Amino acid sequence: MTYAHKPLHRQVIVITGASSGIGLATARMAAERGARVVLAARNGDVLADICGAIEAAGGSAVYVAADVGRREDVQAIANKAVAAFGGFDTWVNVAGLTIYGELREVSDADSDRLMRTNFWGTVYGSLVAVEHLAERGGALINVGSIASDLAFPFQGMYCASKHAVKGFTDALRMELKQAGAPISVSLVKPASIDSPLPQHARNYMNREPKLPPPVYRPEEVAHAILHAAVRPQRDIFVGGGGKAFVALKQFAPGAYDLLGPVITLLQRRSDAPRDPAGSLYRPNRDGRERGIHPGYVARTSLYTRASLHPAGIATLAALSLAGLAVAILREGRPRRRR
């Protein structure tokens, strides 16, 4: 099915998890490109500041303080979009959390809270969105992860939630196609992104967590999301290094399993204090797109940029392998902040 979506400057875009990281980067980029945005997250004070800055720059934005793990809150987001702008054209489910710790240690309550946000938040957002978009058409974009296809030690519940998001998204896409609904469904799968996700994590480890390389900027995910809002693609990997790891897992799953100890080491910092609580149950330290990754952060992903355009498909494998090698070699170098 071919979808004819509006150009970005004519769209209303709903973004959950918009108070930090990928969600915030997407909100700002969408507003800069002329879209009207509806922002949702638990931290209403931060959202008010973000919307104020967008409006001051000439954009149009409204917000809803909402917990996506509650369906009534998600419905309130849609209601706000209808009241403010007459509806919406694209819905982006970004809200997500992680837990660092062995599966045997993580409490049932913590696991349930993570699934409530990562999985049920995506389910509620998707179902509320397609009910609205079934008549007018539009795009549903769910942010999964390379963890939708891979597993990492010490982030087992996060991986489980992202696997579940992929299964749900794929099934919903099939049902909408069967029904002839004019709704595109895209799953964006970022690799490690320099967002505040590690600092917001519930942490059972004895060290502050960090992201395994290669690491990319949140703006690269935002670029992919907004591309899918106009020119939808079924799946988009953000980061050639992540795609390379997925290919390794598919080709040689036993060999990938042997990387467990290396991945574990790469997720632990040695020079930062530990904050065990994170944002699992209440928001804190919001308002920032970037995290505090101590290593190299790639500005763009050549693999992702090429994958968004058919003419670049032939170069993807080479770009992926080259990008992975460069990122790992540069991981030890300090990052220059701007």
Token pair belonging to 180:
């002839």
- Tell me if 139 sits within 8 A of 90, measured CB to CB: yes
Which amino acid makes up residue 288?
A: R
Token pair belonging to 33:
């490109």
**Residue 158 annotated as catalytic:** yes
**For the stretch 56-93, what's the b/e string if a residue is b when 16 or more beta carbons lie within 10 angstroms of its beta carbon?**
eeebbbbbbbbbbbeeebbebbbebbeebbebbbbbbb
Token pair belonging to 284:
């804190």
- Tell me if 294 sits within 8 A of 335, measured CB to CB: yes
Which of the residues 63, 100, 124, 158 is marked catalytic? 158
Q: How far, CA to CA in Å, does 167 sit from each of 96, 141, 187, 233, 332?
A: 17, 14, 10, 17, 36
- Whether the ω angle into residue 214 lies within 30 degrees of 0, i.e. cis, is yes
Q: Which residues are known to be catalytic? A: 158
